[in-house]
Structure 1
């Protein structure tokens, strides 16, 4: 009797989880029943297969000894199905009962440039994302992108929340007033001789590219897909001309997670995930660690890019801070990307791509298609027309993981430590090479979501 009660409890749990087999959206038009009209029964041994089950009719036998049955009362709802499964589970000789659900082809976004986003779906260097989309889309989760801010883009607009500009220096901010409630990216370009550089540099629109990977609008027939297409982006501007200061970044971490910052209104949309595709050399600043610890204590997962110096991440901050998910980068062939930092502090690896041109040495040349494609802007200095472009870097790898964290948190409530441990427990090994340490492996979105 105890076994039967335990079995009934397991059946109830199975039914509650069985929605995972039903795609959130489908590539086919197969009808999905409103109730549960068919079940699979297995038996404890061969002798038990001959028992007569009450309340159902037999449809057919299965290979391996299972039996497909239908309820006498057709079109059961979830509660009715649960009762019937419990009744079947308690009958003599029954080992298990599960719904014989209808599933359809894995969902594939209709965004026209999705086929170029190898980093989502290719089995070698991708993150195995399509299977996760069958059930998860990031609904209800806010991801803070602490970066250069954001520019208007039609493939992002529906998912962007009001953010904040935390750059306190007016010259670096280029907006004339320092901190304000407008996170618009004013451009991080600089002229020759500025910012300690000999050569000039155009604006990167870095935050817009990162935001597109996290949560570009999907299935809108436009551009690209995002990892968590129903998540919301909270853009926080901390990087301007010549970069950004630790004090501004630390305040942004605090504010993003719902903490209080002097002379700044409280954030009405606290983020469950923070992405920081930024960093520099040195030890973890105390200001960073205090802000990160505070964010984690408020339930926010902090994802940080490992850095692009092909060196030990222990010497780069905030990637070397505690309580973060630190992300290295792999290329399209599943190797550690040539630029990616490495080491014992790496938690996981994610696609960051490689883009090298004809001036690079033979044997190292790759194509633009080997980078990470996302939303951008065509302006050289100030914003112009919206565009799409491939970039490479751990800055591109981190938002893949931040987006996956959003998919996870849209499905169930997890503490930051649980997000990290679940990510690490369901990776796959790098199919290529990694010298120096690439963490647990390449994140596997489908395996991670299935584990929930």
Structure 2
């Protein structure tokens, strides 16, 4: 059985001496919180009410930097000396808020002063939506989503939500693509629990529309796939069916905010099936504060997501009990904030919230934040493979100070957006050259291999469409054994980078394992008695060409001829009284043929 939020009762907490275990132990040992429940939401810090004021004072032409500084000191303000500003005839100053009006008036009254202006606050060009709940969504700036919005707020990328269903309420209006209900076996995957709708809103809640909250990918679509019932539980077989359904629909990003501690074959096969269709499965790591693996998150190739607090460290909260993110760098890949503001299914309000939005905490919320960011990446780079998306997310993640948590750290949306590698590696040639002949085993080498993005992962050699072997280091070379075959062999090198992009180079070589022809056309017969100097004439031929013809007497090569017509003059007195004569032909690739033995006596 699998549950939403990963709340299947977990095994006993893992013990250990790593930093993650130390943090858990410290949280357990801390005095009991006065809170009667975990904090409901995280609000950004308010600006100080009485902080100092910052001004820029500009002077008329001809006023030296020394004169500017002297005048400002005499006025009683704090000067931030800046040679660059002095070149502009200006200086930056700090004034106590209570004295702002008086100081400003005094400065403006001086004939040397050209202007006095507030030192305006500037920020990175992050897009700030006008949704009224956005100021409470501190989880989004934490993972640099607003900076990513300056590049893209999404496109019609579809993300499948395998969950309790999705209802198109509030910010999800117009975002939901109806899929299938595997609980009731019908085409109405409406949400009767609320979990799936909250998950979907974090991915694709419409932003900058003046109402509610902002999801990560404002223009994305959500494919609603219901596999959990009204209690938030369901069967692994239903989740597996939902994953397959989404993959068959062509969805390339599949969010699975559910899990169990039993690795079922059916879910494993479903994940592998989705991966074979080019989909990336993103799953929550669970909320039991244990290192035990939760599935499907822990299956190979799934991007497993843990939860972080407002300090970008593993989320741990202890009250009457302890809760927090599951962990383990051997299976948890990345992390995202534990708590978010999400859409609330009407009728599921709490005393602290209304019927429209609620605080949504747990790795069930962390995973869709990663899915939403992945959808932004896919929007900017539609051709990016699942491997490219994964590589962009993991290579730009910010490692946590706490070790023993994830393999890569907390995601950073803006950096990932600029790191998507959708360009293929290069391969410029293959050795041997085209239509080169070979016999037996040949070493085939890929030449001119490079990749300026994520780097080459491996090069694979295929012959006749079948894998021969791989090489992971340059020079990329693989041996091919042709056995006794003859004729053209279609080779292909496939070079794959770490982002899953590939390039190919085709080359045809000729397998030549056929022996040449050779015969003695003139010379003493077998059993002949010979004396003086004897001449033996030979004919030899091969489609690859003859390299040489050799004369063997008593098994030893005593003469060679490399030009047709081939002939040998033998002074018999130099050899034993009994001579066993053979002629051997060697073709251009090394195949050989030998005549039958002729025995001579002198």
Q: Which residue of 2 aligns with 1:228?
A: 217
Contact 2:164 2:230 in 1 (8 A): no
Specify which of 275, 280, 290 is matched with residue 301 of structure 1: 280
Q: Which residue of 2 aligns with 1:107?
A: 127
Q: Residues 360-407 of structure 1: CA distance to partner in whole angstroms, max 9, x if unpaired?
A: xxxxxxxxxxxx1011124149xxx85100021000100011001101
Contact 1:136 1:449 in 2 (8 A): no
How far off its partner does 1:151 sit?
2.4
| Bigger radius of gyration among the two | 2
Aligned-partner SS, 2:160: strand
Q: In the alignment, is residue 336 of structure 1 matched against residue 321 of structure 2?
A: no
Aligned-partner SS, 2:201: helix
Contact 2:181 2:226 in 1 (8 A): yes
Q: Which residue of 1 aligns with 2:444?
A: none
The two structures have a TM-score, normalised by structure 1, of 0.61
Q: In the alignment, is residue 272 of structure 1 matched against residue 272 of structure 2?
A: no
Distance in 2 between residues matched to 1:387 and 1:104, nearest whole Å: 31
Counterparts in 2 of 1:350 and 1:313: CA distance versus 1, 3 Å: farther
Distance in 1 between residues matched to 2:315 and 2:274, nearest whole Å: 30
Q: Which residue of 2 aligns with 1:179?
A: 185
Aligned-partner SS, 1:328: strand
Distance in 2 between residues matched to 1:451 and 1:437, nearest whole Å: 24
Q: Which residue of 2 aligns with 1:422?
A: 392
Aligned-partner SS, 1:183: coil
Distance in 2 between residues matched to 1:135 and 1:106, nearest whole Å: 9
Aligned-partner SS, 2:374: helix
Q: In the alignment, is residue 161 of structure 1 matched against residue 208 of structure 2?
A: no
Q: Residues 103-125 of structure 1: CA distance to partner in whole angstroms, max 9, x if unpaired?
A: 9943211111111000001xxxx
Distance in 2 between residues matched to 1:119 and 1:422, nearest whole Å: 20
Q: Which residue of 2 aligns with 1:136?
A: 152
How far off its partner does 1:441 sit?
0.8
Distance in 2 between residues matched to 1:185 and 1:114, nearest whole Å: 24
Q: In the alignment, is residue 350 of structure 1 matched against residue 330 of structure 2?
A: no
Distance in 1 between residues matched to 2:197 and 2:230, nearest whole Å: 16
How far off its partner does 1:324 sit?
0.4
Q: In the alignment, is residue 401 of structure 1 matched against residue 374 of structure 2?
A: no
Deviates more, 1:338-347 or 1:147-156: 147-156
| Bigger RCO (CA 8 Å, 6+ sep) | 1
Distance in 1 between residues matched to 2:273 and 2:230, nearest whole Å: 28
Q: Residues 230-270 of structure 1: CA distance to partner in whole angstroms, max 9, x if unpaired?
A: 11011111111441101111010001011xxxxxxxx4xx3
Superposed counterparts of 1:2-151, under 5 Å: 105-121=125-141, 126-151=142-167
Aligned-residue Cα RMSD (Å) equals 1.9
Between Structure 1 and Structure 2, the one with more strand by share is 2
Consecutive unaligned residues in structure 1, runs of 5 or more: 1-62, 64-102, 168-177, 188-204, 259-266, 354-371
Specify which of 388, 401, 414 is matched with residue 357 of structure 2: 388
Misfit runs of 4+, over 3 Å? none
Q: Which residue of 2 aligns with 1:196?
A: none
How far off its partner does 1:150 sit?
1.7
The two structures have a TM-score, normalised by structure 2, of 0.46
Distance in 1 between residues matched to 2:210 and 2:418, nearest whole Å: 28
Distance in 2 between residues matched to 1:186 and 1:400, nearest whole Å: 22
How far off its partner does 1:292 sit?
0.7
Distance in 1 between residues matched to 2:156 and 2:242, nearest whole Å: 21
How far off its partner does 1:434 sit?
2.9
Distance in 2 between residues matched to 1:141 and 1:250, nearest whole Å: 22
Q: In the alignment, is residue 287 of structure 1 matched against residue 293 of structure 2?
A: no
Between Structure 1 and Structure 2, the one with more helix by share is 1
Distance in 1 between residues matched to 2:296 and 2:402, nearest whole Å: 22
Distance in 2 between residues matched to 1:182 and 1:349, nearest whole Å: 32
Q: Residues 149-206 of structure 1: CA distance to partner in whole angstroms, max 9, x if unpaired?
A: 1224121012111221111xxxxxxxxxx2000001123xxxxxxxxxxxxxxxxx11
Aligned-partner SS, 1:379: coil
Aligned-partner SS, 1:274: strand
Aligned-partner SS, 1:377: coil
Aligned-partner SS, 1:419: helix
Contact 1:336 1:435 in 2 (8 A): no
Consecutive unaligned residues in structure 2, runs of 5 or more: 1-83, 85-122, 317-323, 421-602
Distance in 1 between residues matched to 2:216 and 2:264, nearest whole Å: 31
Aligned-partner SS, 2:234: coil
Contact 1:132 1:450 in 2 (8 A): no
Distance in 1 between residues matched to 2:306 and 2:199, nearest whole Å: 15
Counterparts in 2 of 1:104 and 1:340: CA distance versus 1, 3 Å: closer
Distance in 2 between residues matched to 1:214 and 1:135, nearest whole Å: 17
Distance in 1 between residues matched to 2:136 and 2:348, nearest whole Å: 24
Contact 1:289 1:321 in 2 (8 A): yes
How far off its partner does 1:438 sit?
1.9
Specify which of 313, 326, 331 is matched with residue 304 of structure 2: 326
Distance in 2 between residues matched to 1:321 and 1:150, nearest whole Å: 25
Contact 1:313 1:346 in 2 (8 A): no
Contact 2:344 2:358 in 1 (8 A): yes
How far off its partner does 1:313 sit?
4.1
Q: Which residue of 1 aligns with 2:27?
A: none
Contact 2:392 2:417 in 1 (8 A): no
Contact 2:158 2:220 in 1 (8 A): yes
